[in-house]
């Protein structure tokens, strides 16, 4: 029984199937999500598969600032994903509504509507940051399932784009803005 | 008391169904072939691809997911389809005449063809009983596709069987190579991508158009069973062609080794073709099978009957 649980935990970590949901995104993050499956980044090495049906998925990837139109759809799709499941908010939009903040067409940010496990900030985030976020979400999901905890019990994790990308420490143009945005994200969550 | 000859044939049949080429061999082989397919596609696209144990991890993970609440007759049916598909695909693998002198009976070819056909029947039924619009479109496509390729598939098998006047698989596997048999094998290979839902005939599960087709409403352990049945279909369909290609061996381990190597080569070939092609439209596919391929199959059957008349 213990061995079986261990195997299950390991399998859940190594086989995250994604469902991608656009909540009014400008398509920038959608392109980066698809790019993370492309030959250069090849997320399939981690067992990632982009699924056609939310019923098959483990991880729901949401992009965009969540328009009023998208809210009900996102809640429905979140309900259609069977547990254990996790949610990754890709880009700055679902985290803070980004530059569209206080727009009357928006109902965001995302965590007002469904529990979010991982935020991947960036406008758009780099594919390697997205892969890091998905791997983190798979880990959270398997640990949560092992402890039989409900979704959204723990504080969400923010996967920084800069540590993942700038191994040189050269400090790319995004780093300051990214830190500010992360602080904002934390503020909104608090 | 059971007579000894019945007992021995019973144990052979059970050993074939459960050990080789049955379940104990077929399930790991199914996962292996699923991996080979994904890996070959990845290599063709210049990626590294999934790790070796990936289909196994996927299977275990799916077993551990919550399963949907289903009620009523349609719920019962939806639970039953994947199980029927898995068991019939496993039965088809068990019937393959891999080992020399492994027993078999007159007419087991017909049983094998029926068992090979059952998973796709189950897919059609599953899509319609899921009541999802995507499932229904996928099922309709699968039905049209299965009508198109099955004529060619059955005629190809029939031409080989008719030329030698036998419906026994082991007798067919023992036959020497002939041009007619080669033609039949090529016709079978042309049908395999459609049977296994691969590009360019991956219409029923075209995920850019109809999400996951008939599988859209399936989740958790039921989906795991579908994945397994798909893998077993790989083993059975490639194994059927492999047994037709392989020459007869007297040593059982040589026969087993050659069988595995040939199946592997066919899987590789199909995956490479799948990754090098794009999906065709449904009417193009149907036209391909009815107009371009059927004529060869009819010619093959005619030639087989002619050969019988001459002999």
Could you report the predicted ipTM of this complex, rounded to two decimals?
0.82
How many domains does chain A contain in total?
1
Residue of A14, A18, A57, A144 best to disrupt the B interface, most CBs of B under 10 A: A14
Given the structure tokens 């996962």, which residue do they identify? B31
Residue B283 has pLDDT above 90, yes or no: no
Residue A162 has pLDDT above 60, yes or no: no
Determine the pLDDT at residue A31: 92
Give first-to-last CA distance, chain A, whole Å.
Answer: 40
Distance CA B228, CA B206 (A): 19
More confident residue, B202 or A22: A22
Write down the mean pLDDT value for chain B.
Answer: 84
Given the structure tokens 């027993």, which residue do they identify? B103
Indicate the pLDDT class of residue B122, thresholds 50, 70 and 90: very high
**With an 8 Å Cβ cutoff, are A52 and B38 in contact?**
no
In this complex, which of A11, A39, A55 lies closest to B61 when CB atoms are compared? Answer: A11
Least confident of A124-138, B18-32, B213-227, B293-307: B293-307
**With an 8 Å Cβ cutoff, are B60 and A45 in contact?**
no
Judging contacts by C-beta atoms under 8 Å, the chain B residues touching residue A145 are: 64
Given the structure tokens 């072939």, which residue do they identify? B33
Give the other-Cβ count within 10 Å of B281's Cβ: 10
Determine the pLDDT at residue B197: 85
Backbone angles phi, psi at A63, to 5 degrees: -120, 160
Distance CA B272, CA A40 (A): 20
**With an 8 Å Cβ cutoff, are B64 and A42 in contact?**
no
Give the other-Cβ count within 10 Å of B70's Cβ: 15
What is the pTM assigned to this prediction?
A: 0.86
**With an 8 Å Cβ cutoff, are B68 and A55 in contact?**
yes
**With an 8 Å Cβ cutoff, are B211 and A15 in contact?**
no
**With an 8 Å Cβ cutoff, are B61 and A51 in contact?**
no
Residue B284 token pair = 């193009």
More confident residue, A58 or A154: A58
**With an 8 Å Cβ cutoff, are A52 and B66 in contact?**
no
Write the pLDDT tens digit of every residue in A92-102. Answer: 888 888 888 88
Determine the pLDDT at residue B166: 77
Cα dist from B52 to A8, B31, B121, B131, whole Å? 17, 9, 31, 36
Q: Where are the alpha helices (DSSP H) in chain B?
A: 4-18, 23-44, 54-63, 72-95, 108-129, 133-164, 169-174, 179-195, 207-210, 220-245, 252-276, 282-287, 294-310
Residue A16 token pair = 């995250």
Q: Quote the percentage of chain B above a pLDDT of 90.
A: 19
Inter-residue contact A176 to A135 (CB < 8 Å): no
Distance CA B85, CA B79 (A): 11
Indicate the pLDDT class of residue A167, thresholds 50, 70 and 90: very low
Write the pLDDT tens digit of every residue in A29-72. Answer: 999 999 998 888 888 999 898 888 888 899 999 999 999 999 99
Residue of B47, B49, B61, B210 best to disrupt the A interface, most CBs of A under 10 A: B61
Judging contacts by C-beta atoms under 8 Å, the chain B residues touching residue A42 are: 42, 47-49
Inter-residue contact A121 to A91 (CB < 8 Å): yes
**Average confidence (pLDDT) over A131-142:** 90
**Average confidence (pLDDT) over B127-132:** 86
Distance CA A179, CA A161 (A): 10
* Shortest Cα distance, chain B CAs vs residue A180, angstroms: 35
Provide the domain limits for residue A122: 2-189
Residue A118 β-bridge partners: A88, A157
Distance CA A68, CA A28 (A): 20
Distance CA B157, CA B283 (A): 25
> CATH number, domain at A166?
3.40.50.12280
Among left, alpha and beta (phi > 0; psi -120 to 50; other), residue B197 is left
* Shortest Cα distance, chain A CAs vs residue B189, angstroms: 28
């Amino acid at each position: 029984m213990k061995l079986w649980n261990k195997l299950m935990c390991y399998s859940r970590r190594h086989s995250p199937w994604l469902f991608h949901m656009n909540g009014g995104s400008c398509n920038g993050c959608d392109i980066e999500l698809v790019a993370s499956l492309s030959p250069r980044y090849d997320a399939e090495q981690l067992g990632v598969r982009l699924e056609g049906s939310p019923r098959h998925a483990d991880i729901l990837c949401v992009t965009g600032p969540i328009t009023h139109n998208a809210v009900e759809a996102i809640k429905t799709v979140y309900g259609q994903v069977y547990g254990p499941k996790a949610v990754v908010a890709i880009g700055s939009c679902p985290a803070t509504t980004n530059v569209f903040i206080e727009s009357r067409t928006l109902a965001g940010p995302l965590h007002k509507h469904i529990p979010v496990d991982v935020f991947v900030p960036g406008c758009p985030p780099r594919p390697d940051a997205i892969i890091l976020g998905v791997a983190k979400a798979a880990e959270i999901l398997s640990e949560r399932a092992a402890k039989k905890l409900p979704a959204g019990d723990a504080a969400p994790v923010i996967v920084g784009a800069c540590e993942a990308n700038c191994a040189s420490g050269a400090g790319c143009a995004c780093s300051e803005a990214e830190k500010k945005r992360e602080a904002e994200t934390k503020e909104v969550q608090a | 008391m059971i007579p000894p000859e019945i007992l021995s044939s019973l144990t052979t049949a059970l050993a074939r169904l459960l050990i080789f080429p049955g379940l104990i061999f077929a399930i790991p082989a199914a996962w292996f072939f699923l991996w080979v397919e994904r890996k070959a596609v990845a290599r063709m696209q210049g990626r590294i691809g999934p790790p070796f144990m990936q289909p196994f991890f996927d299977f275990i993970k799916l077993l551990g997911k919550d399963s949907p609440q289903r009620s009523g007759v349609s719920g019962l049916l939806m639970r039953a389809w994947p199980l029927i598909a898995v068991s019939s695909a496993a039965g088809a693998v068990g019937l393959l005449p891999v080992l020399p002198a492994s027993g078999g009976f007159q007419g087991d070819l017909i049983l094998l063809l029926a068992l090979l056909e059952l998973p796709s029947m189950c897919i059609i039924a599953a899509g319609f009983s899921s009541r999802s619009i995507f499932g229904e479109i996928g099922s309709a496509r699968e039905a049209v596709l299965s009508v198109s390729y099955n004529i060619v598939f059955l005629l190809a098998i029939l031409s080989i069987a008719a030329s030698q006047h036998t419906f026994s698989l082991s007798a067919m596997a023992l036959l020497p190579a002939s041009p007619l048999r080669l033609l039949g094998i090529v016709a079978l290979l042309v049908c395999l991508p459609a049977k296994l839902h691969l590009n360019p005939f991956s219409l029923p599960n075209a995920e850019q158009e109809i999400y996951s087709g008939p599988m859209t409403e399936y989740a958790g352990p039921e989906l795991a069973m579908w994945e397994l049945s798909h893998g077993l279909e790989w083993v059975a369909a490639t194994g059927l062609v492999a047994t037709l290609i392989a020459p007869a061996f007297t040593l059982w381990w040589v026969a087993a080794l050659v069988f595995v190597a040939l199946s592997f080569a066919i899987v590789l070939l199909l995956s490479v073709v799948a990754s090098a092609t794009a999906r065709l439209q449904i009417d193009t596919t149907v036209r391909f099978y009815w107009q371009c391929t059927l004529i060869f199959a009819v010619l093959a059957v005619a030639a087989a009957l002619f050969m019988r008349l001459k002999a």
